[in-house]
Amino acid sequence: MKVGIIGSGGREHSICQILKKSRKVQKIYCFPGNAGTSQIAENININLENFENIKDFIIKKGIHLVIVGPEKPLVEGITDYLREFKIKVFGPNKIAAKLEGSKIFTKQICKKFNIPTANFDIFQNIDDAKKFLKKTVFPIVIKADNLASGKGVYICEELNEAIIAVEEIFRGKFGKAQNVLIEKFLKGEEMSFFTIHDGKHFKTFGTAQDHKRVLEGDKGKNTGGMGAYSPSRLINKSLEKKIINKIIKPTLIGLKEFGSNYKGFLYTGLMIIKNEPFLIEYNVRMGDPECQTILPMLNSDLVDILEACVEQKLEQTKIDWKKKQSMCVVLCSKGYPDYYEKNIKINNFDKIILNENNYLFHAGTKKKENNIVAVGGRVLNFISLSDNLTDARKNIHHNLKKLDWNKGFYRKDIAFKVIDK
């Protein structure tokens, strides 16, 4: 069969790599892909906002299954559009994608169905937000309501910091934002919880702990993710039951009231406080870098799982995992998440050891004159599976040191709460 993957990051490269293992897959197309996907698939340089061109290409090439990786086309309704032409596509529809596209939409569902989350207030202009901030108790969390590539969240310790945050959001730092969300700060530990859905049933699909802050020790600015490990050290049967019954199931009921049954991956971002889960946010796709961390541990054929979701047969499908622990470390361009240089050549890829337990997924890369150059903030993802996270980290650092690229940096303490406690 022929498969199409929409997206260009490390998440999409990892999906591409795991799909390549399936005996069912004859050809993979990536829209638009990156330097890594080009080694195992055909990259198609196409505008992801032009749904008609994407549809025409899918039909012309006879692509059997389409997987949508990133959030933006999902929020803009690409799955609804493709399904109109009887194209099999894995991913939620436009209504369901509002769980990520609008934090306020999600909060309203939380309020109606008593889903545990931080107390919040919504503001439509800078003046009202500033008035509220002058009488609030710190620390607080400030969020842009719109998509912000994982970076539109501020944890503010004092008033001046908070005022700068709302000014940046309303002035369009993360795109057009009509609303700002101000939340009570929850003190606990974060966890990513994944489920996969076919519109009727769902199954768990792994846990992870992301490291969003740019500096070691979880300091500095928020990023799209500097690394992750899986499974999360926090997960247990009691907590999993609470997450499903208190958060996921009520959310699915809420979506039904809006006329939507959820299909696709669902990323539930949580704050865990004394083994109690509180919803931070939803993402309507696999996380990045959590996807790169979790997928290599999959024993089952990913194609079988995705097809079962599209055909609403997930309940009969077994999902089997390797009994390993996994870590991902993200190599970034110096300066990220702010300004960084682009089109810088990276050398020595041939010296990196890759096998069934060690992977390299490209994110912000492209081919230029037979060279691989960095074009993004998050550039490469190094993954290792092992019996323990200490060895996984050692394997990753061993590979990282072989690269010749002095314009990159990475956090050396991924999984520090497990390894370095």
| pLDDT tens column, 182-211 | 999 999 999 999 999 999 999 999 999 999
Q: How far apart are CA 392 and CA 389, in angstroms?
A: 5
Last residue within a domain, chosen from 291, 316, 341: 316
Percent of the chain with pLDDT over 70: 98
Q: Say yes or no: 199 and 150 in one domain.
A: no
Q: Say yes or no: 374 and 360 in one domain.
A: yes
**How far lies 312's CA from each of 133, 191, 203, in Å?**
47, 28, 12
Instruction: Please give the pLDDT value at position 149.
Output: 59
Which are the contacts of 249, defined by CB distance < 8 A and separation ≥ 6? none
> Has residue 161 been placed in a domain?
yes
Note down the domain range covering 407: 325-419
Could you report the per-residue pLDDT of 4-45, keeping only the tens digit for each? 999 999 999 999 999 999 999 999 999 999 999 999 999 999
Last residue within a domain, chosen from 316, 340, 355: 316
Residue of 380, 395, 322 lying closest to 349 (CA atoms)? 380
Residue of 379, 385, 387 lying closest to 410 (CA atoms)? 379
Q: Say yes or no: 194 and 303 in one domain.
A: yes
Per-residue pLDDT for 374 more than 60?
yes
Q: What CATH number does the domain containing 275 carry? A: 3.30.470.20
Instruction: Please give the pLDDT value at position 421.
Output: 67
Averaged pLDDT for residues 323-343: 97
> Has residue 51 been placed in a domain?
yes
| 32 cis-preceded (ω within 30 degrees of 0) | yes
Last residue within a domain, chosen from 141, 165, 184: 184
Per-residue pLDDT for 416 more than 70?
yes
Instruction: Please give the pLDDT value at position 406.
Output: 93
Averaged pLDDT for residues 103-114: 93
Per-residue pLDDT for 337 more than 80?
yes
Q: Which of 172-186, 192-206, 324-338 bottoms out in mean pLDDT, i.e. has the lowest?
A: 172-186
Residue of 71, 124, 123 lying closest to 101 (CA atoms)? 71
Fill in the DSSP letter of residue 173: B
Percent of the chain with pLDDT over 90: 90
Name the amino acid, one letter, at 175.
G
Q: Say yes or no: 333 and 403 in one domain.
A: yes
Which are the contacts of 238, defined by CB distance < 8 A and separation ≥ 6? 275
Q: Say yes or no: 195 and 309 in one domain.
A: yes
Residue of 298, 119, 395 lying closest to 414 (CA atoms)? 395
Q: What CATH number does the domain containing 174 carry? A: 3.30.1490.20
Query: Tokens standing for 268?
Result: 């539930």
Vertex 246, ends 93 and 108: CA angle to 5°?
55
Averaged pLDDT for residues 326-339: 97
> Has residue 114 been placed in a domain?
no
Instruction: Please give the pLDDT value at position 152.
Output: 76
Mean of the per-residue pLDDT values of the chain: 95
Q: Say yes or no: 140 and 226 in one domain.
A: no
Could you report the per-residue pLDDT of 284-318, keeping only the tens digit for each? 999 999 999 999 999 999 999 999 999 999 999 99
Q: Say yes or no: 283 and 398 in one domain.
A: no
Write down how long the chain is: 421
Could you report the per-residue pLDDT of 39-67, keeping only the tens digit for each? 999 999 999 999 999 999 999 999 999 99
Q: Say yes or no: 275 and 240 in one domain.
A: yes
Query: Tokens standing for 230?
Result: 């899986």
**How far lies 209's CA from each of 181, 212, 391, in Å?**
24, 9, 18
Per-residue pLDDT for 345 more than 70?
yes
Q: Say yes or no: 164 and 196 in one domain.
A: no
Q: Say yes or no: 210 and 298 in one domain.
A: yes
**Rg, the chain, Cα only:** 21
Per-residue pLDDT for 325 more than 80?
yes
In the chain, the number of structural domains is: 4
E-strand spans in 128-185?
Answer: 140-144, 153-156, 180-184
Per-residue pLDDT for 148 more than 60?
no
> Has residue 30 been placed in a domain?
yes
> Has residue 127 been placed in a domain?
yes
Q: Cα–chain-centroid distance for residue 294?
A: 11
Q: Say yes or no: 50 and 65 in one domain.
A: yes
> Has residue 103 been placed in a domain?
no
Residue of 6, 1, 4, 17 lying closest to 294 (CA atoms)? 17
**How far lies 283's CA from each of 88, 91, 99, 292, in Å?**
21, 12, 7, 16
Q: How confident is the model at residue 105 (pLDDT cuts 50, 70, 90)?
A: very high
Query: Tokens standing for 257?
Result: 């009231």
